[in-house]
Amino acid sequence: MINGRTEQFLDTGWYNEATLFYSGHIYWLEGNTNFDSGISCFHVDRWKADLSEGVYYNSKITKDGQRVGYERIYEIEGSHMNELKKRFLEAPLFDGKSFWQVERCLVWVEEGESEIES
């Protein structure tokens, strides 16, 4: 994983909010738990992005301010967090490949920053 340690991502980044960059797209991950019901939810949104000068990404935006290609590509819920995590790691979300198949090419982008080390 670029810009971070995979172990740290698996412990913290995949569940709360995290931003990943891969192959011209931003992947925004968010998870939460409703403690009253015990149900956890996790989803991934994706949209197109440009990488300029190899270090900054910019979301592609239409004239009316909408992100180009924005879509929710994954959404799961359940009562066991480890099962959600396992399903996410195995899902073919990254151009038909799983997290583990592209892990070395994924860039973990710090919240509020657009700089990517190349």
pLDDT tens across 37-77, in order? Answer: 889 899 999 998 877 776 667 778 878 878 888 899 999 99
The pLDDT, as a whole number, for residue 67 is 80
Domain boundaries, the chain: 6-109
Q: Point out which residues pair with 47 in neighbouring strands.
A: 26
Residue closest to 25 by CA, chosen among 93, 74, 112, 113? 93
Query: Strands, DSSP E only, in the chain?
Result: 17-22, 25-34, 39-52, 56-59, 71-78, 107-109
Residues 80-91 pLDDT 10s = 878 888 999 999
Q: What is the rounded CA–CA span in Å between residue 1 and residue 34?
A: 30
The pTM of this model reads 0.83
Q: Which two tokens stand for residue 116?
A: 């990517």
